[in-house]
Structure 1
């Protein structure tokens, strides 16, 4: 009989909702009262999972779902992951889970040693899969970062447009400003800045992103204002009046934080302004789970504000504004998941069933990290000089309203 470490762990940890485990021999064991959360039943088709999952929960559960050796019989995948998210603190209190988290934290500097060569490899792993894949679930502007949801009933397109305007408003743009977009993706932010009268250089390490961004820029007639390069941020030469980075800082890695913020300071003019938008975490420094590192974002990490701001302080930059978005990415990821599900047959034709199950797990698990976990987004506005910006935030709202007329 297989060693069962899973059911004892669940018995100690499930306080909200109910999770029933059906083992390969057909026996079922329920955990939790069912109050305050979803009712979920999963079937394990491989007895080894009873010992494997507790030793590496995200990695082994994710792989089992991808391989079809873990199937959801009652409820949905989102419900299954929600139960774990809702009971996150109980799981984290388990001594075995604490032990492995400690090991992951000790290894994170090696895991995130993102040299220029390694960064290119990491980017190709995820962002060069296929532009057509991302068209299946992103908004029309192909914004692959958190939308801004002042109202939950907004469309995904409106939320992403609101995000771009909200960020641009913090840059205090002026006509002819030279702007650097670090991690420009498919070019939506760069194009908005170009239409606002700026001269923009966008850098990415993804060949797929650059090719499509160039096409989009040409269709908008912005070739004279917006240039997209395949270039590492460490290789860029300035100066720039404004620097923006949306959803790229997660790929920098802790060992490179000092170099990243030092580079921003070195590229800015004396009265320059930078805005960094990133996923973050509410608690202190941690590590990326093994499944995400292996299958989705090798070298990636969602930082704590404490370790981020410490690096900013060492760079000599001023932190002139900090904003935290709590549930915005949960709303964004839910919409992405719905769109991917609606186009799942197309994704399967591009890749295969295992890939589709991996992508479903990625989107659902990410949503739960924001909905029930400690993940959030933060925006840091940075300057070289103390007097580079007005003393109040009024100009941000005024600029945001003006950008809506473009």
Structure 2
């Protein structure tokens, strides 16, 4: 049976006799009520009373099912407790309310939800990022395996036929309902290859193989592709898919860290890999790209992004996503990428194509498919806590992109020309 990482259990939850003396838990309810008053969402308690929120009966509605447990989790670990409360069943979306729709108003007000008088306590409640998740050569392998080696069958159950686990790119001149996810993922792949100038005869390095679809598309253009991954599960299936496409002579799949690659490449592509690199290693990552890029070559990365202010505010604190989904991960800002490349490499950002709303659509389709396929996923050994973990993860991220709190872009990098 596959389970999610262990939930935090504050001492007050482990030892009920201490609950009357837990000051943090007593403070959690009025603080949560103050936050809820700033978002148009109804929140009901087990006795039918409402805790702050909207007066509109048609507003999205959340139900707190186990108040004591939820308040204690949030009191001790605010950035982790909300998600773990969902995992544990302390709260949920009321019937008729979609979870992402209920989270959207909070995502839209992320910077203003906490009253100013309480915001100053952020440093007190923030948790430091564990050193065990550092992206050293060994740490990166462990972090990647924790997510991507869950099983290929899990990802096959909810991804499209391309097995692309990154934002699709939809044609906004056409109705979204007419576009399949597979079509939009293929468009994303072609756009990345176009950005990097991949053509017949190109020597291509892909950092982060996924399940091989981008490598296959590049090889079909006539390129010679080296693609690297730290996931054994991904590498195995990618090799099978590449061989089935008749392209094994054009694509080499390696279990290798980006810091271990040697050679020269005309194009380097990396789709939603930088988020797993870790801030400490961004200079190393971009220096590796710089060193491996042949004269006149182009790099194209697709990256999830957040505003620079939010990146600075969250870069040192430990959140639910880092604990339960992507250990060692950190989302950069465009400015952080620009500053890192300018300080440590000869690379410069020369263009960026942003399409964050397309990620919201992608995530909703993944979540719908995940829930639809849950009987199959469950039969493969995944438990109910895992289901709730992934349902919250996909809905939470969808709300972030729909609100504009998160973004995604394809970024072109070229060497600075010195005159």
| 1:228-247 alignment runs, 5 A limit | 228-247=253-272
- Provide the secondary structure at the position in 2 that maps to 1:136: helix
In the TM superposition, what whole-angstrom CA distance separates every residue of 1:324-356 from its partner, at most 9, and x where no partner exists?
222111111011011111111112222111111
Alignment partner, residue 402 of structure 1: none
Alignment partner, residue 405 of structure 2: 374
Q: Residues 325 and 111 (structure 1 numbering): CA distance in 2 closer, same or farther, change over 3 Å?
A: farther
Alignment partner, residue 18 of structure 1: 41
- Provide the secondary structure at the position in 2 that maps to 1:308: helix
Deviation at 1:15, TM superposition (A): 3.2
Out of 120, 141, 160, the residue aligned to residue 141 of structure 2 is: 120
Distance in 1 of aligned mates of 2:332 and 2:124: 16
- Provide the secondary structure at the position in 1 that maps to 2:289: helix
| 1:247-326 alignment runs, 5 A limit | 247-284=272-309, 285=311, 286-287=314-315, 290-314=319-343, 315-326=345-356
Deviation at 1:146, TM superposition (A): 0.5
Out of 68, 77, 81, the residue aligned to residue 103 of structure 2 is: 81
Alignment partner, residue 151 of structure 2: 130
Deviation at 1:173, TM superposition (A): 2.3
Segments of 4+ in structure 1 off by > 6 A? none
Distance in 2 of aligned mates of 1:265 and 1:103: 39
Deviation at 1:383, TM superposition (A): 1.7
Alignment partner, residue 377 of structure 2: 347
In the TM superposition, what whole-angstrom CA distance separates every residue of 1:139-198 from its partner, at most 9, and x where no partner exists?
101000000012333211111011011111112223211100001110111110000000
Verify: 1:163 aligned to 2:188, yes or no: yes
Alignment partner, residue 59 of structure 1: 80
- Provide the secondary structure at the position in 2 that maps to 1:275: strand
Q: Residues 160 and 36 (structure 1 numbering): CA distance in 2 closer, same or farther, change over 3 Å?
A: farther
Q: Are 1:19 and 1:83, in contact at CA under 8 Å, matched by a contact in 2? A: no
Distance in 2 of aligned mates of 1:264 and 1:279: 18
Out of 183, 193, 202, the residue aligned to residue 227 of structure 2 is: 202
Give the TM-score of the pair, scaled to structure 2. 0.85
| Gap regions ≥5 residues in structure 1 | 388-406
Verify: 1:359 aligned to 2:390, yes or no: yes
| 1:166-177 alignment runs, 5 A limit | 166-177=191-202
- Provide the secondary structure at the position in 2 that maps to 1:89: coil
Alignment partner, residue 32 of structure 2: 9
Distance in 1 of aligned mates of 2:347 and 2:114: 36
Distance in 1 of aligned mates of 2:132 and 2:118: 22
Residues 7-16 or 338-347, more deviating: 7-16
In the TM superposition, what whole-angstrom CA distance separates every residue of 1:240-287 from its partner, at most 9, and x where no partner exists?
111000010100111111111111110011111110111010243233
| Gap regions ≥5 residues in structure 2 | 1-19
In the TM superposition, what whole-angstrom CA distance separates every residue of 1:54-107 from its partner, at most 9, and x where no partner exists?
5533411211211222233342322332242233233244444553368759x4
Out of 236, 239, 261, the residue aligned to residue 214 of structure 1 is: 239
- Provide the secondary structure at the position in 1 that maps to 2:113: helix
Deviation at 1:321, TM superposition (A): 1.4
Distance in 2 of aligned mates of 1:157 and 1:98: 46
Distance in 2 of aligned mates of 1:98 and 1:222: 57
Aligned-residue CA RMSD (Å): 2.4
Q: Are 1:277 and 1:380, in contact at CA under 8 Å, matched by a contact in 2? A: yes
Q: Are 2:290 and 2:347, in contact at CA under 8 Å, matched by a contact in 1? A: yes
- Provide the secondary structure at the position in 2 that maps to 1:28: coil
- Tell me the number of residue pairs that the alignment of Structure 1 and Structure 2 aligns: 384
Distance in 1 of aligned mates of 2:287 and 2:74: 41
- Provide the secondary structure at the position in 2 that maps to 1:383: strand
Q: Are 1:10 and 1:31, in contact at CA under 8 Å, matched by a contact in 2? A: yes
Verify: 1:32 aligned to 2:32, yes or no: no
